[in-house]
Amino acid sequence: MKMSFRAKRLERQNQRLAQASKLNLVALMDIFTILVFFLMVNQSEVKVLQSNKDISLPRSVSEQLPGEKVMLTITANGILVQGKPVWQGDWRQDSSLWLTDLTNALTTELNYLSGRAGPLPEAQQPNGRALTILGDAATPYALLRQLMAICAATEYRDLSLAVETMPASTAAEAP
């Protein structure tokens, strides 16, 4: 029996639809490539410093973002440099008991880090190497001064204090 034009068309369509569909990977790759470039370009400008849960940073209005620097962390029971414990003890005691030990340990570690980094370029000689101090808001200023003096003696003179930023409008209202 002769098939009608309509029957032939339906049979061709059924054969075509019966085939397994193919996944178009080119379109998916294009989408993911665009997504990767979009995420790389639009990454946030916020930098978060790694800190202990025990440390509550002082609040301040800061417009400068932190960079990749040596991190000196002051905790309740010791001093860490780049996350490595350098000195352990209670700095709340009489400073004559622990100051020489802290000075020796911190000087040794900072000299080691500066030796690994190589000599300072001529342009950086006046400023020295960069270092960020993370300390609790309750850290006494006398301890900070002593630590900054130790750092300055070991080529680390470009010092920064890590703070938690707050909006300028809040700072104006604060006493």
Amino acid letter, residue 99 = L
How far apart CA 14 and CA 55 sit, in angstroms, is 70
CATH architecture, range 59-165: 2-Layer Sandwich (3.30)
pLDDT at 118: 86
pLDDT at 110: 92
The C-alpha angle with vertex 163 and arms to 161 and 167, in degrees rounded to 5, equals 140
Average pLDDT per run of 10 along the chain, which is 175 residues long? 88 85 77 87 63 66 70 86 86 76 91 88 86 85 89 89 71 53
- Report domain extents, the chain: 5-41, 59-165
Q: E-assigned strands of 22-103?
A: 59-60, 70-75, 78-81, 84-88
What DSSP character marks residue 37?
A: H
pTM for this entry: 0.62
**Beta bridge pairs of residue 59:** 164
pLDDT at 67: 67
